[in-house]
Structure 1
């Protein structure tokens, strides 16, 4: 993190408490960046940083979408995130002993959130007991025709990840007491996972996205609705207030490191 700040010439900048770059980046003002190589270098470095700093995932996802033709707006947005990096040098993902071995996950999508191509951004987090073990923020490959479709596609992604994790646990002889639980704040997507009648209205959705429905039918997964206020994945899909951002970051077990005794 210190090396990234040094390369950007921002070691002495005043730190901020949230990444403030989360305004939508558009292609309306296409003024090429004066140094696109530096933009790509820093955006790539931040991408590696998200392996541990999951709170940067949404912003870095936006930056990496513009690597091929970075503009001055992109560069300004990237530089607005670096002071947040400066202020979070001591933050990390906390892993602790858990009494539970249940898998539960949260999935969310920002329908048509990209103003340039109207594609949605999806994200998910997966917990093993009380520990966060997997997370993703990515733009969907196709345009969703409704918020339900966008959320359904996001559920398909997390169901594939959870299925792989269950298989991994079985290989090391760890059995789950109950099926993994997927939490979604969209009622339409929740119903679509369980009720095949709805498929008559969703024939346009690619076949691959109905994987989650098959897993629910086999009782390998459970999908349940949660209120939006309990949705943890909003930190991966949209701009948030500082209060909401910091609250979700804490719930995802990102805390300041404790000094050794």
Structure 2
């Protein structure tokens, strides 16, 4: 893929991979090796976390369509070879998190996708994209499951800070773009529509009462965790790179050589 055409996005915008009826890929072990390398790369490239998570779900029986989607990720990496996480030396040491979900996005199981990114000051230190274990019956239920996943990880990070003998007094700012989820966290009045997610509601409410987190609203177009729950357009990807803490240490190899980015 050294001579491939670069791509501005790792996946087609708003595309959802599924178990299709295309021809099975003729070399499944090669597909698994490629996905394994991409999983390793997500340790420093949060921008490909969602698409790699999607591709890894078809390692048992990959098709030619899944292989083509994996090749697009390589084309995206060709366009951004020097992109990596930047950790500034001076910033306020406070945890800040963004939580989001994409409701019923899996065409095969109708399960939602949870995504979060957590910052320590201005540095992105933790991120995840994961399919939820059960089917959510509403969008705010999916958001609450994502909030619970994020809150559990925030709790774990606070334990790490304590082990490092750093007393973290300020609450973690947790941003969510679902008003229903935020309202339910502030006013946990349970009824038939919310009884099945009562445990998740109590988890968020308890951490808010303890002062561990502070739940705040955020506009959808400012939600950084969007990149971990769905594919986005080229303009949004370019805008979100710096917000995720990704910077290029040098100019991409394709610039100035007459290679058209498609």
TM-score, with length taken from structure 2: 0.90
Equivalent in the alignment of 1:51? 43
Unaligned runs of at least 5 residues, structure 1: 1-9
Flag the 1:18–1:30 CA change in 2: closer, same or farther, 3 A.
Answer: closer
Please list, as runs of the form range in 1=range in 2, the aligned pairs for 1:24-173 lying within 5 A after superposition.
24-173=16-165
Flag the 1:170–1:200 CA change in 2: closer, same or farther, 3 A.
Answer: farther
Secondary structure at 2:11 match in 1: coil
Secondary structure at 1:41 match in 2: helix
Runs of 4+ in 1 over 4 A off after TM superposition: none
Match of 1:18 among 9, 27, 30: 9
- Taking the aligned partners of 1:37 and 1:209, their CA distance within structure 2 comes to 43
Residue 99 of structure 1 deviates from its aligned partner by 3.0
As a proportion of its length, which structure holds more helix? 1
CA RMSD of aligned residues (A): 1.7
- Taking the aligned partners of 2:138 and 2:59, their CA distance within structure 1 comes to 28
- Taking the aligned partners of 2:193 and 2:9, their CA distance within structure 1 comes to 41
Flag the 1:90–1:199 CA change in 2: closer, same or farther, 3 A.
Answer: farther
Please list, as runs of the form range in 1=range in 2, the aligned pairs for 1:212-227 lying within 5 A after superposition.
212-227=204-219
TM-score, with length taken from structure 1: 0.90
Unaligned runs of at least 5 residues, structure 2: 252-262
Residue 80 of structure 1 deviates from its aligned partner by 1.5
Residue 45 of structure 1 deviates from its aligned partner by 1.0
Greater displacement, 30-39 / 230-239 = 30-39
The answer to whether the 8 Å contact 1:21/1:78 transfers is no
- Counting matched residue pairs gives 250
Residue 208 of structure 1 deviates from its aligned partner by 5.5
